[in-house]
Amino acid sequence: MEIPIETSGRHTHLSQKDLEKLFGKGYKLRKMKNLYQPSDFAAKETVDIQGEGTRVLTLRVIGPIRNKTQVELSKTDAIFLGMAVPLKESGDINGTPGAVLIGPENKVKIKEGVINSQRHIHCSIKEAKRTGLKDRMLVSVQTEGPGSITFHNVLVKVKENYRLCMHLDTDEGNAACITRKGKGKILLN
Amino acid sequence: MEIPIETSGRHTHLSQKDLEKLFGKGYKLRKMKNLYQPSDFAAKETVDIQGEGTRVLTLRVIGPIRNKTQVELSKTDAIFLGMAVPLKESGDINGTPGAVLIGPENKVKIKEGVINSQRHIHCSIKEAKRTGLKDRMLVSVQTEGPGSITFHNVLVKVKENYRLCMHLDTDEGNAACITRKGKGKILLN
């Protein structure tokens, strides 16, 4: 069963509160482009993240606004910033490290929310019925070519407004020689 | 069959000619530490590599001296430098991109030699006999834990002064949640 693959560069989701601290009172995200997941868009806005030292990386803001601010870094990013960033499912930020985010208006010190996102598959309810994928299932996905890899522990997430696609971070994509888009084969364990 | 895994950060092997251009006439590498492979050592010396733009990364020099200078970058490094770096077996640098290397004495423009090293296994002749691994064989290696991955197309390299170990670049290691050292299981295809 074939599945499209996309790599996600480092990015941040923002709460309305943090957005307004970073960009000013009443600020609203401006859409730059729609993403393959109908639920999400890349905003025109970026913010910087400062790690333990003086090193800084720039993060694309991904909309829409969420209840909690969450920063997603690759392990390479985390090592560059001198941060110990745990592998976590998106949304599961309890006890994760914080960081300083820097916007044009102000800095915000978030107390938690920096993660290395667990590789996952987005899937609509209809696609789940068609493919046999179930919400919260762990599957393996094999890629092709000289960089061929089988990724295990891929978390399936089923929601109405999702669209069948596997998300890797840039380290995982690079390891499989996939730069932005690729494809794989789902192996049901 | 279990196998130790090491990740290799970006580094360079140097020819004596390029070493002398970079560090001065008659220069000799100074050993910083032995590596797990008895054939190799990390030198005290580093050089910088400059990509297409103004971005620069620092490379550890790995000794001993080789016939040809060869730079090994991860894909993340290559993207940072704005370079298109092919996946190649170490030593197979025909037609690969060049770069500018910067040492304390001088710059050197190498015409070729920048690669993303193909994942591989070092193995002594004795270990090959014991394990059934053969020189130039391609095998798969599975890692454990939450970041579990099966790496395919792993090239086996058998030589007297090698020691059983799989080498990954930092993207591959990070993808599998292996920072410096880890272990895997060889799956004969």
Chain A, nearest residue to B142 by Cα = A150
B177 reaches A (C-beta below 8 A):
yes
B154 reaches A (C-beta below 8 A):
no
Pair B54, B82: CB distance under 8 Å: no
Please judge whether A153 and B146 are an interchain contact, meaning their C-beta atoms are less than 8 angstroms apart.
yes
Which stretch of DSSP H or E encloses residue A150?
strand A149-158
Rg (CA), chain B: 17
Q: Distance from B44 to chain A by nearest Cα, in Å?
A: 22
Please give the ipTM for the structure prediction: 0.93
Contact list, A83 vs chain B (CB under 8 Å): none
Chain A, nearest residue to B178 by Cα = A75
Instruction: Indicate the pairing of strand A149-158 with strand A120-123.
Output: parallel
* Interface mutation target, options B73, B75, B92, B118, chain A, most CBs of A under 10 Å: B75
In the three-class reduction of DSSP (H, G, I as helix; E, B as strand; rest coil), residue A93 is classed as coil
Among the partner-chain residues B79, B87, B175, the one whose CB lies closest to the CB of A172 is B175
Chain A, nearest residue to B74 by Cα = A174
State pLDDT tens for residues B144-167.
Answer: 999 999 999 999 999 999 999 999
**B100 token code pair:** 């500018």
Which stretch of DSSP H or E encloses residue B60?
strand B56-63
Please judge whether B147 and A153 are an interchain contact, meaning their C-beta atoms are less than 8 angstroms apart.
yes
φ, ψ of residue B101 in degrees (nearest 5)? -105, 140
Pair A188, A139: CB distance under 8 Å: yes
In the three-class reduction of DSSP (H, G, I as helix; E, B as strand; rest coil), residue A174 is classed as helix
Please judge whether A75 and B118 are an interchain contact, meaning their C-beta atoms are less than 8 angstroms apart.
no
Interacting residues of A45 by C-beta distance below 8 A, sequence separation 6+: A23, A29, A30, A61, A103
Per-residue pLDDT of chain A (189 residues; tens, 9 = 90+): 999 999 999 999 999 999 999 999 999 999 999 999 998 999 999 999 998 778 999 999 999 999 999 999 999 999 999 999 999 999 999 999 999 999 999 999 999 999 999 999 999 999 999 999 999 999 999 999 999 999 999 999 999 999 999 999 999 999 999 999 999 999 976
* Cα–Cα distance for residue pair A146/B25, rounded to 1 Å: 41
Instruction: Indicate the pairing of strand B138-143 with strand B70-72.
Output: unpaired
